[in-house]
Structure 1
């Protein structure tokens, strides 16, 4: 029986609640098929306040030995600035393990009513995850003075753009064979024109995939007006970040927003996380929706090679939401939603 070693980082706030719920479901689904050996790490904003860092100096080295990483949520703005928590934990892990492909699925689960009239959309957003606008290149001078200057340099490499586009084309080829590349090349005449040019080059390798090019503002409108026309979207780090929150909104809210940070060549572990944040105001109250977290856990199992079990978990989620369980904020407790998914798994 295969054993998978998982590094669990519950993090802050409801990250702890949804991680517990996810592992309960994953272990139930794995029974008699494979085993999950999980080690929990307390890296969080609370850890930062005690130790002065979000994770220990050897944190990355520690994580190397695991098959996958599961992250609950990170952030506690009242005590630790988001810029500190993000750059101290999440981004270093993504970059250290070359998790350059951020995958976020957007579709309405049965029983969930989104804010749009549109139904039947199924979008897979592929966000570049390690460079672009989040490269961390830049700085500030003359801080606090009238002549203060701050720069944030978006860095795009040919290697980075080519690999995320190829990843997106492969996903499109396995789905409905349509890819939309999102830029702002009418305004950003260097980086985004470069992205457009590379897209055309890579598209020649995938003649079976239809390619569209859209500016970020037009894509935002498209996702609201006609999301059913979209298949795979590929975008830079910042643009992908914005569009995936919009995707979460049209699929019913952040409680359904699953994600995966993938290292495609598997030279390091990939990381899986819901993207709803730590929600400090509802932490520990048993009212957080664990569906995004459990869906992310299913994505983790699929990545590990347990596609059948992952599909069963997603079917169980759909069975629960089809009964109206977890479909609206506050309608059911974390425990109730988890129990409904477990019951559907057993059935």
Structure 2
């Protein structure tokens, strides 16, 4: 079925509506893989059917609309509960369309996806530096030291002269409170431990405010243990004793850096899932990039995208009060873990299977009890 604005809707039903945006590079392989897994698992658990609404981003959108993120895509995402989002390769876009923020940042800002939740979990069968790591980094996603997200209009970077570049970091009580609540609620479902990351010894006003507000919010969660770490010390602690941490809450830039580090320590960015969410919408997007050098060769690792889709199902379960969606998310997680445990992996993890073969193995295990 094709709508008047050119968007394609398939498998229409009275169930949930989810967007699907393949993006650039390997996105055209890993996003369809994740979509297949979602359809299969929901059929297995007799969950709601999905109406998939397709939209374009990146090179495909440039070819069709002359820009990497057309308004028709934004409008499509307005009307869905959540979406699967592929990576973008904005560095390869023509110069004339690289004037604004990259598509991912623009979408996060448009829909106020203030929480970026990034698990780092080691899997049996995947070589890792921290084989006991199982933590989640909750990254404030709307302000902080990221220049493309901390101003109402324009960017927080500017150059008063050709030889001087400056940047503004923004931390507000309101944004810190909501990300702190998100982190503490998540900790209550896990091991009830939150670590606040900051640099208040140097950035005493901005990250000092972040630390103080997180501590204030902690008072509402007496069952959760809290501690705090300077960001540089936290990086060292992740390397030395990553298994000691449960939920880590941080401002934007710190959370971005630490989550990439934790992803590699736990195995690979190829297994690093990610969910960007607000209270009303969520975007499943793997933490890694578009990997254009292997795109179209059936070699990409779809794990991170598949696990991101599982995170989306958990988020939808809470929003719709539907335990079948949570069951589906858990089933995907178990299927991926069992696939790795069986010694099946893509080339980036030292394995021999292709993207499609790995996906078929996950689907086969989704169908097992």
Q: Runs of 5+ in structure 2 lacking a partner? A: 1-12, 318-324
| Aligned length in residues | 337
The counterpart of 2:91, out of the listed 69, 77, 85, is: 77
Trace 1:178-327 onto structure 2 (pairs within 5 A). 178-263=193-278, 265-266=279-280, 269-305=281-317, 306-326=325-345
Trace 1:71-110 onto structure 2 (pairs within 5 A). 71-80=85-94, 84=98, 87-110=101-124
Q: Does 1:45 align with 2:59?
A: yes
Question: Once structures 1 and 2 are overlaid, which stretch shifts more, 321-330 or 187-196?
Answer: 321-330
**1:54 aligned residue:** 68
For 2:283 and 2:158, the matched residues in 1 are separated by: 29
Q: Is the 8 A contact 2:276 2:284 kept in 1?
A: yes
* Structure ranking higher in strand proportion: 1
Q: Is the 8 A contact 1:75 1:85 kept in 2?
A: no
Displacement of 1:253 in angstroms is: 0.8
| Cα displacement string for residues 249-293 of structure 1 (whole angstroms, at most 9, x for unaligned residues) | 011111101000011x21xx2111111110000001000011111
Q: Is the 8 A contact 2:19 2:76 kept in 1?
A: no
Q: Is the 8 A contact 2:23 2:58 kept in 1?
A: yes
C-alpha spacing 1:86/1:239, structure 2 compared with 1 (3 Å): farther
Q: Is the 8 A contact 1:53 1:88 kept in 2?
A: no
Trace 1:28-177 onto structure 2 (pairs within 5 A). 28-31=40-43, 32-48=46-62, 51-80=65-94, 84=98, 87-114=101-128, 116=129, 118-134=130-146, 135=150, 136-143=155-162, 148-177=163-192
For 1:80 and 1:324, the matched residues in 2 are separated by: 41
Displacement of 1:60 in angstroms is: 2.5
For 2:362 and 2:55, the matched residues in 1 are separated by: 26
For 1:154 and 1:43, the matched residues in 2 are separated by: 29
Displacement of 1:35 in angstroms is: 0.9
Q: Runs of 5+ in structure 1 lacking a partner? A: none
For 1:61 and 1:21, the matched residues in 2 are separated by: 24
Displacement of 1:302 in angstroms is: 1.3
Considering Cα pairs closer than 8 Å and 6+ residues apart, tell me whether 1 or 2 has the greater RCO. Answer: 1
Q: Is the 8 A contact 1:7 1:39 kept in 2?
A: yes
Query: What SS does structure 2 have at the residue aligned with 1:300?
Result: helix
Displacement of 1:88 in angstroms is: 3.9
For 1:85 and 1:292, the matched residues in 2 are separated by: 29
Q: Note the aligned Cα RMSD (angstroms).
A: 1.9
**2:322 aligned residue:** none
Trace 1:12-31 onto structure 2 (pairs within 5 A). 12-31=24-43
Q: Is the 8 A contact 1:106 1:251 kept in 2?
A: yes
For 1:187 and 1:204, the matched residues in 2 are separated by: 25
For 1:46 and 1:60, the matched residues in 2 are separated by: 15
C-alpha spacing 1:43/1:79, structure 2 compared with 1 (3 Å): closer
Q: Normalization by structure 2: what TM-score? A: 0.87
Q: Is the 8 A contact 2:123 2:131 kept in 1?
A: no
Q: Is the 8 A contact 1:54 1:85 kept in 2?
A: no
